[in-house]
Amino acid sequence: MRNLWLSWLLVLTACATLGDRTVNVTEADIQNMLNKKLDVPVQLLKIFDVSLSNSVVKFDQQTGRMHTTLDTMLQSKLFDESLAGKLGISGKLRFDAATQSIVLDEPQIEQFNIAGADSKQNEMMNALAKVIAGPLLNGLTLYKVKEEDLKFGGTSYMPKDMQVTGNGLQITLSPTR
């Protein structure tokens, strides 16, 4: 009888380890990754050098979108000084199975405001940012699932589902068979 119980215990343990696993990715995780990725200035149209920093990420559970505000520094030979401002971006999140990453999908420039600029200048900068920056941000890797999350106890896992929650992302991993 004891051997039967031990056998059942081993079977139940094996089944439990082969079930789905959940990995949580916080807003802070995405913010850190964005700050590292955007640390290098980007040159646009060989006219503007744009530096982005201090991302603030918020997830909207209702729409499944991520909203991000970034400090922006704009430099150009067209003007004598650097211009500081704020850039607001939103986008859907998609899991890219090929790279095991969460990427920004369908990004939209929500706002681009330069400190000290009048409303007409900011309106013009917003229009320019929407045309140029949106396509550049599409497919931007926001987070790569860690190798240790994809292998656990000798079992390999693949992402199955991703949910936007109020605090971050919840990724469901299923064992590969």
As a whole number of angstroms, the distance between CA 57 and CA 69 comes to 7
CB atoms within 10 A of CB 101: 18
DSSP 152-173: ETTEEEEEEEEEE-SSEEEEEE
Give per-10-residue mean pLDDT for the chain (177 aa): 52 58 90 85 71 91 92 80 89 87 91 86 83 84 87 83 86 85
* Partners of residue 89 on adjacent β-strands: 68, 109
What's residue 68's pLDDT?
Answer: 93
Distance CA 131, CA 133 (A): 6
- Predicted structure pTM score: 0.78
What is the C-alpha to C-alpha distance for residues 177 and 175, in angstroms, rounded to an integer? 6
Question: Which pLDDT score is estimated for 113?
Answer: 87
**Count helices and strands in the chain by DSSP H and E runs:** 4, 10
Model pLDDT, residue 114 = 86
Q: State CA 2 to chain mean position distance.
A: 51
- What single-letter DSSP state applies at residue 20? -
Burial class (CB in 10 A: 0-12, 13-18, 19+), 36: exposed
Q: What is the pLDDT of residue 18?
A: 65
